[in-house]
Amino acid sequence: MRLSSRDRRFSLSLVAPSIFLLLLVGVFPLVYLLVVSFQGITMTELDTSFQGLRNFRMLFDDERLWQSLLHTVIFTAIALPLELVLGLAMAQLFIDKLPGRPVFVALLVLPVVVSPIVAGATWSLMFDQRFGPINEVISWMLGGETTILWTIKPDLVYPAILLAEIWQWTPFMFLLLLAALSAVDKSQLEAAAIDGAGWWRTFFRIVLPAIWPVMAIAILIRALDLFRLFDIVWALTKGGPGTMTETISIFAYVKGFQQFETSYTAAVALMIIVLLSVVVMAALKRVELTR
C-alpha cells in the first residue's frame, strides 16, 4: 500500500523524536569528539583552532599511552582465559542437580553484583599489610609475622589485581555458561554415552559447539569489559608503581580529567573506538553472529 504524502509526514513526525534522540546521544558525541580531537583545547587554553593531525601524531610518540595499552592487553590476555576456564569448570560442577544448588549459585554470583570500585576497595583491605587477612594467613602458615606489600612490589601487583578481577568476574562467566550448558540437548549426550564417547570427546564434539554462541558472547562482553578495566586497578594501585599497572582507561582519565588535555584525550578516545570497533567486528565475523 502506498502512503499518501500526508500519512508519510505523519509517520515521519512519529519517528522523528526517536531519531533525534538517537542522533543526540549516539552520533553527536562522536562527531563532537572528532572535532575536539583536531583542536588544541587544554586546561589553560580554549584553543578551538584547527590543529591538523597534531594530536594524532602525538599518539605515536607517547610511550606511556602504548605502555598502558600493553598493560590492558596483558590483563585481558591473562584474566579472560582464566575466567572462562574457571567459569566453565564451575558451571560443569553445578550442571547436575545438587542439594542447595540455587543457594550456592546465588552465593557464587554475589561478587558480580558488587560495584567494581567497592570490590577494589575490599581487596585493598584484604591485601593490607597490617590488618589484611591475606597477610595474616600467610604469616600464620609461615609461623611468623610477614609483611607482603601486594600493591607496591612490582612482582606482586599484577597477581593482586588479577586475583581481584578474576574473583569478581568469573561468576559472570559461570552464570552464562551454566545457562548455556543447561540448554544442551540431553538426547545427544545420551546417544554419545551409548556410543561409548569419552568425556573429552563428548565435550568437544557436542557440548562446546552447542554452547559456543553463548560462550562467544560471554567472551566478547568480558573482553570489552577488561579493555576498559579501571575501578579495581584504581582502587588497588592507581596505576602504580609508577605507571606499571596503568590501563588505557586510567591513562585516558588522568589525561582528560586530571591534566585537562582535552583535545589529546579526544584523540586517544577516538583511537580506542576505532581499535575496539575493528576487534569487535572481526570477532563477530569470526563467530558468525553478524547474520
Partner 1 sequence: MNHPLSVARPCAALARSPLSVAIVALVATFAIATDASAQSAAQRAVDAAKPLCAGGKTITIVWEAGLQSLDPLNFSGPEWEKQTGCKVKVVEVPTAEMFTKIMQEFRAGTGAYDALNVIPAWMPDLAGAGALEPLDALVDKYGYRAELQKIAPTYRDNQMTVNGKIYGFPDDGDVFVMYYRKDIFARDDLKKAFKAKTGHELAVPKTWKQFDETAAFLTEALKKDGIYGAAFFREPPYTMYMFQERFRNEGGKFFDAGMKATVNNDIGVRVFNEMRAENKFMPPGVEKFGFVENLATFLKGQSAMTISWPPYGRFAAGYLANEKALDWVPKSTIAGKVGYAVPPGGHPQLAAGFALSVASTSKQKEAAYLFIQWLNSEDISMKRVQLPYALRDPFRDSHFTSKEYLAKWPDAKDYLAALKAGSQTGLLDLSLIQTDKYEEALRQGISRLWAGEDSKKILDDVAKQWDATTNQIGLDKQKAVYGAWAAKSGAYPK
Task: Report the site for partner 1 in 192-231 (rule: CB under 8 A).
Answer: none
Gap between the Cα atoms of 226 and 116, Å rounded: 12
Q: Which stretch binds partner 1 (CB under 8 A): 22-30, 181-189, 242-250, 278-286?
A: 242-250
Cβ–Cβ < 8 Å for 233, 120: yes
Q: Applying CB under 8 A, does 49 fall inside the site for partner 1?
A: no
Quote the least distance from Cβ 104 to partner 1, whole Å. Answer: 35
- Which whole-number Å values give the CA distances from 156 to 129, 151, 165, 242, in the listed order? 13, 7, 14, 14
Question: Which of 127/169 has CB closer to partner 1?
Answer: 127
Residue located via cell numbers 593482586: 160
Q: Does position 43 bind partner 1 by CB under 8 A?
A: yes
Residues 147-186, one symbol each (x = binds partner 1 by CB under 8 A, - = not), give x-x-xxxx--------------------------------
Q: Does 128 bind partner 1 (CB under 8 A)?
A: yes
* DSSP element (H, E) containing 287: none
Among 97, 130, 186, 291, contact with partner 1 (rule: CB under 8 A): 130
Among 73, 122, 158, 241, binds partner 1 (CB under 8 A): 241
* DSSP code per residue over 4-48: PHHHHHHHHHHHHHHHHHHIIIIIHHHHHHHHHHTSEE-SS-EE-
44 binds partner 1 (CB under 8 A): yes
Torsion on CA atoms 268, 57, 257, 238, rounded to nearest 10 = 70
Binding to partner 1 (CB under 8 A): which residues in 256-285?
257-260
**Interaction between residue 242 and partner 1 (CB under 8 A):** yes
Binding segment (CB under 8 A) for partner 1, from list 23-31, 49-57, 142-150, 281-289: 142-150
Stretch that binds partner 1, among 14-22, 47-55, 128-136, 161-169 (CB under 8 A): 128-136
Q: Per rule CB under 8 A, is residue 133 in the interface with partner 1?
A: no
Measured CA to CA in angstroms, residue 244 lies from 7, 10, 37, 254 at distances of 61, 58, 27, 14
Asked if 254 interacts with partner 1 (CB under 8 A), we say: yes
Residues contacting 173, CB < 8 A, separation 6+? 83, 84, 86, 87, 88, 91, 218, 222
DSSP annotation of 148 = -
Among 7, 47, 145, 190, binds partner 1 (CB under 8 A): 145
- Is the N-terminal amide bond of 29 cis, ω within 30° of 0? no
Q: What residues line the site for partner 1 (CB under 8 A)?
A: 43-44, 46, 128-130, 145, 147, 149, 151-154, 240-244, 254, 257-260
